[in-house]
Amino acid sequence: MQYVQLGRSGLKVSRLCLGTMNFGDHTSEADSTVIMDKALELGMNFFDTANVYGWKLGEGVTEQIIGRWFAQGGGRREKVVLATKVYGKMGEWPNESKLSAFHLKRACEDSLRRLKTDHIDLYQMHHVDRATPWEEIWQAMEQLYREGKILYVGSSNFAGWHLAQAQELAKSRSFFGLVSEQSLYSLLERAIELEVIPACQAYGIGLIPWSPLARGLLGGALAPATSGRRTEQDVRQDLETHRPKLEAYEALCRELGEQPADVAIAWLLHQPAVTSPIIGPRTSSQLTGSMRALDLLLSAKTLTRLDRIFPGPGGPAPEAYAW
C-alpha cells in the first residue's frame, strides 16, 4: 500500500480510501466485516462513511456496522483513519439536518455513539449549508475539536469559492480549517478542474474523489450485467448517452491489457491534488482487485488519449473559457 499526507496536514492516509456506502444496503454486515478486515490486511487505513448511509432515517445503519466491527478489538479502531459526514436529514424535526451549531453538536455525539469511538479523525460537511454562517459553523467545529471529539475538518461537494470562503475565515480565527474536500470526480465528471482543484492546491486541501467509476460506467459497463448498479435504469440511460466514449475507452483499455476500472482509478491518481479516490467494493474480491490501480503508471501518451476520449473543461478557470 502507498500512503500520502492528507492535504497540508501531517496525517498519512492510504492512497485508496474504503468507501462504506454499500454497507447495510447492498452489502450485508457479515460481508462488510470481511471487507473491512481485508482492507486492513491490504494496508488500507482510510475509511469513509456518513451518518445517513444505510438510508434508514435517523438510524445511521452503516456507522453502526462499523462501530460493531471496531468493538471486536484487535487494534481495528487504532489502525483506521475514520472519516464520517454530517449534513443529511437524520429526523423529522426542524434541526435534525444541515450545519447549525445545534445540529453539529448532536450529530457528532450520535455518530460517536454509533461508531463506538471517542473521536472522529475527519469530520466532513456533506454539503454546503447556505443558510448557516461560517462564523457559526467554525465556532461549533472548534468546540468539537477542543473537546477532543474531532481531529480534522473536511468538506464535500463544495465549490471553489466555498473552499476559499471557509479557509479565509478559519485563518482569521487561527483555526486550521479544512484539510480535505470530497468531490465528484472521474474521467466522465471533470467540472471540478475549473475551480475546485485550483482552490485545493492553493489552500493545501486534499482532494478525495467520490464515484471514481461514474456509477460503474467506467468499470467495463459495456459487458452484459444481470445485477448491481449497472442494471439500474438511469445508469443504463447514461450508458447509452456515453456509449461512443465508453467504446473508445474500453478499446484503449484492451490495448493496454488493463481492466477499465483500474485505468479509471489510476487516471485519478495521476491528477493534481488527489489524495485518495474512494472505492466502494461490494465484495472482498472487488476490494482486492482494486489494488492493481496503485501500480498502474499511465504514460503521457495514454493520458493524452484519455483526454481526447473524455475532454475536460479545458483546464482551470478562467483560461478554460477566456484568454
Alpha-carbon separation of residue 106 from 66, 111, 132, 164 (angstroms): 19, 9, 16, 27
Task: Check if the beta carbon of residue 63 is closer than 8 Å to that of residue 69.
Answer: no
Catalytic residue among 53, 145, 203, 249: 53
Give the list of residues 6+ apart from residue 303 with CB closer than 8 angstroms, or none. Answer: 267, 270
Q: How many residues in total does the chain contain?
A: 323
Tell me phi and psi for residue 85, to 5 degrees: -130, 155
User: Is 53 assigned a catalytic role?
Assistant: yes
Question: What ranges make up the beta strands (E) of the chain?
Answer: 3-5, 12-14, 17-19, 46-48, 81-86, 120-125, 150-156, 178-184, 206-210, 278-279
Sign of the Cα pseudo-torsion (52, 203, 185, 31, in order) = negative
- The percent helix, strand, coil of the chain (3-state, each to 5) is 40, 15, 45
Residue 17 has phi, psi (to 5 degrees) of -110, 130
d(CA 204, CA 202): 6
Q: Which amino acid is at 20?
A: T
Q: Hey, what's the cell of 264?
A: 479509471
Residues carrying an active site annotation: 53
